[in-house]
């Protein structure tokens, strides 16, 4: 029997659990159908009429950012890095609290009453920058989202024990169809409503499963096993022997800023809030959820690692003898662990919570990227000729198109790093340039449109942090040997390339603005550059 088939044996998932999951999916689609009645214009569809208040804002922000893909990549990091991975969640907490306390970027951005970040680029730097920014954002964002579908489907296959050869593909198509249905119908109204429900279900599921894992395995046993299996490297992220290192920790601090102040789905929540005070409170309180949403799945991954290492059959499946067989993808570790650990009924509730998380993330991201394509590329090119109804219809069309693209990426793109590192690098294609444009555009009057364009272009260099891109460039374009390619790629980690891209894009913004200043300015409460 193949290692993967062996690893799937033993799940306790039953028909009762399938029924629990199916009931939740029916309720989610019903919410989307009801929400469609309240969409009258583009502002309703994209930012829910800017009427979200503190409690709902915190819940929906957590619901979006704690998606199934978050649980999957965090559990994988816990599996490979141990307790040392906790520094990622701590960095996210500290930075989110700082952003909420100071209002850094999000508060002044909200004052412009824009629907998307590239729309601010257009107001500050002109239409050319808005269109380029929209293209870069959409490319990086859709590529970032490309593995969501595959990761979510791997969870369902792993926890349910589905062994049909086509199971992964079938699950991917079914899940995507459900998400597209209610996102297309309801827009941000359905996103807000479903996120709130999913926040409640998911919080309950996470705490319940964590408590059950500790009860069954024992905290002292989990901790002692990690000391034995990984040593100090499993606890100290600064050690060179760990899966991280000092440069990685610095990279995670920037990613913490990205998650709350630069990433469009989080910024969309700030733009949907009823006041600036609510924006600040939302991010200050949500800083705890930013930490918890990572730490709990890290712990699940740690438990999965201990569980698998104590099962000879699973150890052989995930860590086979070199040259004998290929090991099972470590993304399957956590769902396989839960499938064997949780009892009937509880496993259905947890799976429903995870599917809720999957849908919560997908609806927000689909809406975000589609609104960017409409608001920042189509509308600037078409002028004011489009009606509100047409804008909503175009956005819905982009939702469907993006759904098809992410399905293709999930099938075709080779993942050569941990999923979290893939997410960080693909996000950096946009966020390194966005950091320079938003930071300088909001706080520096001399920032120019030429500097903005240069920053967007240089920031896109972060794409070279992807292992698949490195192999393509080094081995297929430059004709390097496999040994030389692996040696160079080993030094060009995603963290190092990402940090370099931040420096390059910021330098390009500053130098481009000083050397090529904009001449047409309107002075007032804010500095605007004519497009």
At residue 530, the pLDDT reads 37
> Is 466 within 8 Å of 425 (Cβ atoms)?
yes
Domains observed in the chain: 3-412 (1.20.1730.10), 415-531 (no CATH)
Mean per-residue pLDDT, 340-344 = 89
Question: What pLDDT sits at residue 10?
Answer: 75
Return the axis-axis angle of helices 148-160 and 388-412, rounded to nearest 10°. 60
Q: For residues 140 and 30, give the distance between their C-alpha atoms in angstroms, rounded to a whole number.
A: 32
Q: pLDDT at position 40, please?
A: 46
The pLDDT of residue 252 is above 90: yes
Q: Which of 169-178, 187-196, 318-327 has the lowest mean pLDDT?
A: 187-196
Give tens-digit pLDDT for 451-461.
999 999 999 99
**What would the mean pLDDT of 343-351 be, rounded to a whole number?**
87
> What pLDDT, in 10s, does the model give residues 205-244?
788 889 999 999 999 999 999 999 999 999 999 997 888 9
* Tokens describing residue 325: 């067989």
Tokens of 358: 């999957």
Answer yes or no: is pLDDT of 96 > 50. Answer: yes
pLDDT-derived band of residue 522, with 50, 70 and 90 as boundaries?
very low
Does the pLDDT at position 326 exceed 80?
A: no
Q: How many helices (H) and strands (E) does the chain have?
A: 25, 2
Dihedral sign computed on CA atoms, order 153, 159, 165, 167: negative
| Chain length of the chain | 531
Q: What is the DSSP letter of 322?
A: T
At 480-491, the pLDDT tens digits run 888 888 888 888
Q: What distances in angstroms separate CA 142 from CA 49, 155, 221, 378, 505, one per listed residue?
A: 25, 21, 41, 17, 21
Q: How confident is the model at residue 425 (pLDDT cuts 50, 70, 90)?
A: very high
More confidently predicted of 47 and 256: 256
> Residue 98 class from Cβ within 10 Å (0-12 exposed, 13-18 middle, 19+ buried)?
middle
* pLDDT given at position 2: 63
Predicted confidence at residue 452, as pLDDT, reads 96
| pLDDT above 80: residue 155 | yes
> Residue 148: which of 121, 183, 114, 175 has the closest Cα?
175
Please tell me the predicted confidence (pLDDT) of residue 51.
Answer: 43
pLDDT at 184: 65
**What does the mean pLDDT of the chain come to?**
82
CA 427 to chain centre: 8
């Amino acid at each position: 029997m193949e290692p993967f088939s062996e690893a799937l044996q033993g799940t306790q998932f039953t028909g009762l659990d399938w029924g629990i999951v199916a009931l939740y999916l029916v309720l989610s689609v019903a919410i989307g159908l009801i929400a469609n009645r309240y969409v009258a214009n583009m502002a309703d569809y994209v930012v829910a009429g800017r009427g979200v208040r503190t409690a709902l804002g915190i819940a929906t922000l957590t619901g979006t950012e704690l998606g199934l893909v978050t649980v999957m990549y965090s559990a994988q990091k816990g599996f490979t890095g141990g307790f040392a991975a906790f520094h990622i969640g701590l960095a996210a907490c500290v930075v989110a609290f700082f952003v909420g306390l100071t209002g850094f970027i999000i508060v002044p951005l909200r004052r412009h009453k824009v629907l998307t970040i590239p729309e601010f680029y257009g107001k500050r730097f002109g239409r050319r920058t808005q269109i380029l920014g929209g293209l870069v954002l959409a490319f990086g964002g859709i590529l970032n989202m490309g593995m969501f579908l595959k990761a979510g489907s791997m969870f369902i296959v792993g926890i349910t024990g589905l062994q049909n050869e086509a199971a992964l593909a079938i699950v991917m198509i079914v899940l995507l169809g459900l998400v597209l249905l209610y996102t297309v119908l309801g827009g941000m109204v359905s996103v807000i409503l479903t996120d709130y429900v999913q926040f409640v279900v998911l919080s309950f599921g996470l705490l319940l499963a964590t408590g059950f894992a500790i009860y069954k395995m024992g905290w002292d046993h989990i901790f002692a096993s990690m000391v034995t299996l990984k040593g100090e490297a499993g606890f100290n992220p600064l050690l060179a022997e760990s899966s991280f290192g000092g440069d990685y920790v610095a990279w995670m601090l920037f990613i913490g800023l990205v998650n709350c102040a630069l990433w469009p789905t989080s910024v969309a929540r700030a733009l949907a809030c009823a006041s600036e005070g609510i924006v600040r409170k939302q991010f200050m309180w949500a800083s705890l959820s930013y930490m918890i949403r990572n730490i709990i799945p890290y712990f699940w991954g740690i438990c999965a690692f201990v569980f698998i290492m104590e099962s000879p059959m699973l150890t052989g499946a995930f860590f086979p003898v070199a040259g004998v067989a290929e090991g099972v993808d470590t993304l399957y570790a956590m769902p396989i662990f839960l499938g064997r650990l949780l009892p009937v009924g509880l496993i259905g509730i947890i799976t429903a919570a995870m599917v809720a998380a999957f849908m919560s993330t997908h609806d927000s991201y689909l809406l975000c990227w589609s609104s960017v394509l409409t608001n920042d590329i189509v509308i600037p090119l078409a002028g004011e000729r489009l009606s509100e109804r047409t804008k909503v219809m175009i956005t819905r069309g982009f939702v469907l198109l993006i759904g098809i693209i992410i399905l293709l990426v999930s099938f075709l793109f080779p993942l050569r790093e941990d999923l979290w590192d893939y997410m960080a690098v693909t996000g950096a294609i946009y966020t390194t340039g966005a950091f320079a444009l938003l930071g300088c555009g909001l706080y520096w009057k001399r920032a120019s449109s030429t500097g903005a364009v240069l920053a967007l272009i240089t920031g896109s260099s972060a794409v070279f942090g992807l292992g698949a891109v490195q192999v393509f460039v080094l081995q297929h374009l430059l004709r390097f040997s496999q040994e030389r390619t692996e040696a160079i790629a080993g030094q060009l980690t995603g963290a190092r390339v990402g940090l370099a891209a931040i420096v390059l894009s910021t330098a390009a913004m500053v130098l481009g603005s000083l050397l090529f200043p904009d001449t047409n300015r309107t002075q007032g409460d804010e500095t605007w550059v004519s497009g």
